């Protein structure tokens, strides 16, 4: 996108300039939002192809439109790579994104009014796991588990007690702000006891699982949903993996139950990302993501930051800023001005409101893709401390430009994939 003579530049200079500016921004900031990443140039290229022109409602070999000579093998490659990489019986690669993938699972197994159990949003779950403002919390009866106040960790005994009392037909495990390893075997045991379908939503950790840096839910969960664009480093999209027993129900739920035509350019990008994720380099990447998160957590702890659950096992760190006397939103805004991109987030049992909570959610997928290592995480922690300390003292505007310069210097040495 650096070429000033692209078709986009000529047709729509306004959008072209904004895209270029966003590209520059992604290059010059330290991106710590744990659900984001950088795709490879190959994935990016696949998503910007003529495949976007084609309709292909149905599945490979069973379409409702002609002209699928090349679309069918593309989708089949994506399916085969997904089942191969994760060791699952069946894969559906058509969900438009993580939320529709989860909705399709409800459609496959639940009637309106029946009971779902998931982790509550402010404890680290996702909206689509039955949170009240989501369709999943209004169309279904939802019971929600959380973490223990004393440890900040999930308590499988509490999960079991709630499951036995409420007998949900569907149980979700996984979430968006969980810094610790998920006990898929423990959840499977609870689900079996009450004959519920267990869904592992691995949106955040799919790349870690593919790379062997987090245990896999395969063999424990009946259904696995995931986005493709977080640690997995593919395009915006999602997949549903499941056992053979549920394959038909899942496929029917995605199409024609919930969606129309699949986004074939995205399917191609997913196929490319899955091929990349099967390489030894990706295994190294996944382990480096975790090593960087651990290093960042340790450096932050040394600097007096309080971390929910005391640290991290994966790519994600949840900081409780209460002890630093700043709020999550103010800290996120100041850090952004300094070139460090985070997102404010509730912490478990947060006394503050969701739109200005106590926490900051960060992670290392993006910085690791750029090639940064644990020693750079110590630097990042130092900058975060400088900004947050200045914010508490009231002189943050003096500090952010200085940190910003140092941040840009580091980003120059670790460029995103191009
Ligand atoms: C990101 C995420 C989703 C939703 O994905 P979208 O693509 O934003 O719809 C669902 N579940 C979990 C656990 C997530 O982290």
pLDDT of residue 2: 53
Looking at the predicted structure, is the pLDDT value of residue 197 above 90?
yes
Task: Enumerate helices (H) and strands (E) in the chain, giving the number of each.
Answer: 16, 15
244-252 and 98-109 helices cross at what angle (nearest 10)? 110
- Split at pLDDT 50, 70, 90, the class of 4 is low
Looking at the predicted structure, is the pLDDT value of residue 127 above 80?
yes
CA dist., res. 122 & res. 136, Å (int): 16
- Other beta carbons less than 10 A from residue 337's beta carbon: 16
* C-alpha 105 – ligand 1 centre gap (Å): 14
Q: Whose CA is nearest to atom 6 of ligand 1?
A: 98
Tell me the percentage of the chain whose pLDDT exceeds 70. 99
pLDDT of residue 354: 86
Mean pLDDT confidence for 334-347: 97
Annotation says 128 is catalytic: no
pLDDT of residue 3: 59
Ligand 1 close to Cβ of residue 315 (< 6 A): no
Mean pLDDT confidence for 131-135: 96
What residue ranges define each of the domains in the chain, with the CATH number in brackets? Answer: 45-277 (3.40.640.10), 288-411 (3.90.1150.10)
- Over residues 69-109, the pLDDT tens digits come to 999 999 999 999 999 999 999 999 999 999 999 999 999 99
Ligand 1 close to Cβ of residue 136 (< 6 A): no
CA dist., res. 117 & res. 170, Å (int): 6
Mean pLDDT confidence for 276-289: 98
Ligand 1 close to Cβ of residue 239 (< 6 A): no
pLDDT of residue 5: 81
- 143 φ, ψ to 5°? -120, 140
Q: How far is CA 295 from CA 34, 299, 311, 332, in A?
A: 15, 6, 10, 21
* C-alpha 332 – ligand 1 centre gap (Å): 21
Tell me the percentage of the chain whose pLDDT exceeds 90. 98
- Over residues 149-184, the pLDDT tens digits come to 999 999 899 999 999 999 999 999 999 999 999 999
Annotation says 227 is catalytic: yes
Mean pLDDT confidence for 38-50: 98
User: Of residues 169, 230, 324, 329, which has the active-site annotation?
Assistant: 230
pLDDT of residue 335: 98
Q: CA dihedral in degrees (22, 27, 29, 31; nearest 10)?
A: 90
pLDDT of residue 234: 98
Determine contact, residues 292/58, Cβ cutoff 8 Å: no
- 91 φ, ψ to 5°? -135, 140
Looking at the predicted structure, is the pLDDT value of residue 308 above 70?
yes
User: Of residues 23, 27, 57, 298, which has the active-site annotation?
Assistant: 57
Looking at the predicted structure, is the pLDDT value of residue 340 above 90?
yes
- Split at pLDDT 50, 70, 90, the class of 53 is very high
Please name which of 202, 410, 185 lies closest in space to residue 286, comparing C-alpha atoms.
Answer: 202
């Amino acid at each position: 996108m650096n070429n000033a003579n692209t078709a986009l530049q000529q047709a729509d200079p306004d959008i072209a300039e904004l895209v270029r500016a966003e590209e520059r921004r992604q290059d010059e900031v330290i991106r710590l939002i744990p659900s984001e990443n950088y795709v490879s140039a190959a994935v990016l290229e696949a998503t910007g192809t003529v495949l976007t022109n084609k309709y292909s409602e149905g599945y490979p070999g069973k379409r409702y439109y002609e002209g699928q000579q090349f679309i069918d093998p593309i989708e089949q490659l994506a399916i085969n790579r997904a089942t191969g990489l994760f060791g699952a019986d069946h894969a559906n690669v058509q969900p438009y994104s993580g939320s529709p993938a989860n909705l399709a699972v409800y459609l496959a197994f639940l009637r309106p009014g029946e009971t779902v159990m998931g982790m509550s949003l402010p404890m680290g779950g996702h909206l689509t796991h039955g949170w009240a403002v989501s369709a999943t919390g209004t169309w279904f009866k939802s019971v929600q588990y959380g973490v223990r106040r004393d440890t900040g960790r999930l308590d499988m005994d509490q999960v079991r007690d709630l499951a036995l009392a409420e007998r949900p037909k569907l149980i979700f495990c996984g979430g968006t702000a969980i810094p610790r390893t998920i006990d898929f075997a423990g959840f499977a045991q609870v689900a079996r006891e009450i004959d519920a379908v267990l869904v592992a939503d691995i949106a955040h950790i799919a790349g870690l699982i593919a790379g062997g840096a987090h245990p896999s839910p395969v063999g424990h969960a009946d259904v696995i949903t995931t986005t493709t664009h977080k640690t997995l480093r593919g395009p915006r999209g999602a997949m549903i993996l499941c056992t053979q027993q549920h394959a038909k129900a899942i496929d029917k739920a995605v199409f024609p139950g919930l969606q129309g035509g699949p986004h074939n350019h995205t399917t191609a990008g997913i196929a490319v990302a899955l091929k990349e994720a099967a390489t030894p380099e990706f295994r190294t990447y996944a382990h480096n993501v975790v090593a960087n998160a651990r290093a960042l957590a340790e450096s932050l702890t040394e600097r007096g930051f309080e971390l929910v659950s005391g640290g991290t096992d994966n790519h994600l760190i949840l900081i409780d800023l209460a002890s630093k006397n700043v709020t999550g939103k103010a800290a996120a805004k100041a850090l952004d001005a300094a070139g460090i991109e985070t997102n404010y987030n509730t912490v478990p049992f947060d006394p503050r409101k969701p739109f200005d909570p106590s926490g900051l959610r960060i992670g290392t997928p993006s910085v690791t893709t750029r090639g940064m290592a644990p020693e750079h995480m110590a630097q990042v922690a130092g900058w975060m401390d400088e900004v947050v300390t200045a914010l508490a003292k009231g002189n943050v505007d003096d500090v952010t430009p200085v940190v910003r310069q140092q941040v840009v210097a580091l980003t120059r040495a670790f460029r995103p994939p191009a």
